[in-house]
């Protein structure tokens, strides 16, 4: 393994490449990466890097976003099959039809969407700035929010805005809603609960709470929001409701604290498709390049730019 890692580092230098990895990547990939973060952080890195080549260790829509932001750079993803169940819940034709039914509405698309869907959108957002993006839209404007229904409900709760929400969900996070939240709180009475807004349980938590989000010791965050919270927190026990890849980074930040996944089964098989072998082959053979047709990239870049401006 060490030889392979050395080869990766050598190739990276030769090709002036940067390796970006999402917080759900396997531990070894996180350790090799130049930057590990959430969707927003990775997009920001893609926008500002002076590398010639970006190897995106994440899922396809993330590499597409990097390609749109940095059209002059070569963007690689080590496995083209690394998709996203949530992004697959809506395509551009479905969005066009929804827009026809609501001609006066503005479209806010979560970054977990294809480039074609982004090209039909007015704003993009990530889980860390969805609330701010919606708040930036004039109150009188109708909003179509897609594709995640749980994130949409969270945004409604936090902004008080009426929005129409697409009925999409991520297969990993939706299932976390099946876990008995009260039982988990009874098992870990002193723990801080960190919940991703894509989770089914985020809605259960909102329902229980009178003043959204002080459902005792419970906080709703993007993956990077969880990292920031743990860095500042004095607590030494955390229950984490998201994909379990994030536990690696959390444990590195606070080695003496205890981290429990709310559900051990929260594994995104798409994120786990990226392996060290595939990363090596990707850098060695320049595969697989992610390139967006010019017209789609041009249209998609405006909502992405808005997403990067509202942080």
User: Is 222 one of the binding residues for ligand 13P (CB under 6 A)?
Assistant: yes
302: buried, middle or exposed (CB in 10 Å: 19+, 13-18, 0-12)? middle
Three-state secondary structure call for residue 174: helix
Handedness of CA 69, 71, 72, 78 (dihedral sign): positive
User: Is 174 one of the binding residues for ligand 13P (CB under 6 A)?
Assistant: no
User: What distance in Å separates the CA atoms of residue 253 and residue 258, rounded to the nearest whole number?
Assistant: 11
User: Is 206 one of the binding residues for ligand SF4 (CB under 6 A)?
Assistant: no
User: Is 86 one of the binding residues for ligand SF4 (CB under 6 A)?
Assistant: yes
User: What distance in Å separates the CA atoms of residue 3 and residue 127, rounded to the nearest whole number?
Assistant: 37
- Binding partner at 301 among ligand 13P, ligand SF4, none, C-beta below 5 to 8 Å by kind: none
- Binding partner at 262 among ligand SF4, ligand 13P, none, C-beta below 5 to 8 Å by kind: none
Q: Using CB under 6 A as the criterion, what x/- string covers residues 217-256 for binding ligand SF4?
A: --------------------------x-------------
User: Is 39 one of the binding residues for ligand SF4 (CB under 6 A)?
Assistant: no
**Cα separation of the two ends of the chain:** 38
- Binding partner at 85 among ligand 13P, ligand SF4, none, C-beta below 5 to 8 Å by kind: ligand SF4
Torsion of CA 161, 162, 167, 168, to 10 degrees: -20
- Binding partner at 114 among ligand SF4, ligand 13P, none, C-beta below 5 to 8 Å by kind: none
Q: Using CB under 6 A as the criterion, what x/- string covers residues 174-193 for binding ligand SF4?
A: --------------------
User: What distance in Å separates the CA atoms of residue 129 and residue 165, rounded to the nearest whole number?
Assistant: 17
Q: Which residues bind ligand SF4 (CB under 6 A)?
A: 59, 84-86, 112, 170, 172-173, 198, 243, 268, 270-271
């Amino acid at each position: 393994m060490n030889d392979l890692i050395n080869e990766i580092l050598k190739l990276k230098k030769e090709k002036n490449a940067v390796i970006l990895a999402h917080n759900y990547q396997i531990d070894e990939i996180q350790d090799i990466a130049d930057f590990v973060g959430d969707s927003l952080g990775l997009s920001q890195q893609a926008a500002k890097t002076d590398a010639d080549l970006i190897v995106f260790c994440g899922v396809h829509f993330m590499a597409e976003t990097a390609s749109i932001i940095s059209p002059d750079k070569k963007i690689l993803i080590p496995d083209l099959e690394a998709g996203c169940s949530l992004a697959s819940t809506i395509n551009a034709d479905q969005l066009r039809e929804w827009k026809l039914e609501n001609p006066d509405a503005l479209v806010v698309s979560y970054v977990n969407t294809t480039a074609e869907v982004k090209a039909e959108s007015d704003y993009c957002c990530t889980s860390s700035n969805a609330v701010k993006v919606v708040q930036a839209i004039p109150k009188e404007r109708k909003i179509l929010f897609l594709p995640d229904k749980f994130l949409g409900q969270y945004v409604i709760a936090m902004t008080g805005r009426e929005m129409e929400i697409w009925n999409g969900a991520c297969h990993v996070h939706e299932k976390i809603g099946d876990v008995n939240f009260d039982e988990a709180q009874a098992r870990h009475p002193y723990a801080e609960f960190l919940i991703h807004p894509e989770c089914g349980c985020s809605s259960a938590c909102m329902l229980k709470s009178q003043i959204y989000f002080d459902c005792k010791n419970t906080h709703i965050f993007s993956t990077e929001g969880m990292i920031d919270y743990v860095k500042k927190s004095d607590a030494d026990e955390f229950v984490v409701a998201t994909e379990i890849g994030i536990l690696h980074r959390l444990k590195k930040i606070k080695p003496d604290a205890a981290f429990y996944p709310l559900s051990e089964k929260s594994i995104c098989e798409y994120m786990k498709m990226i392996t060290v072998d595939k990363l090596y082959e990707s850098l060695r053979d320049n595969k697989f390049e992610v390139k967006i047709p010019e017209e789609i990239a041009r249209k998609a870049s405006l909502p992405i730019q808005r997403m990067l401006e509202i942080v």
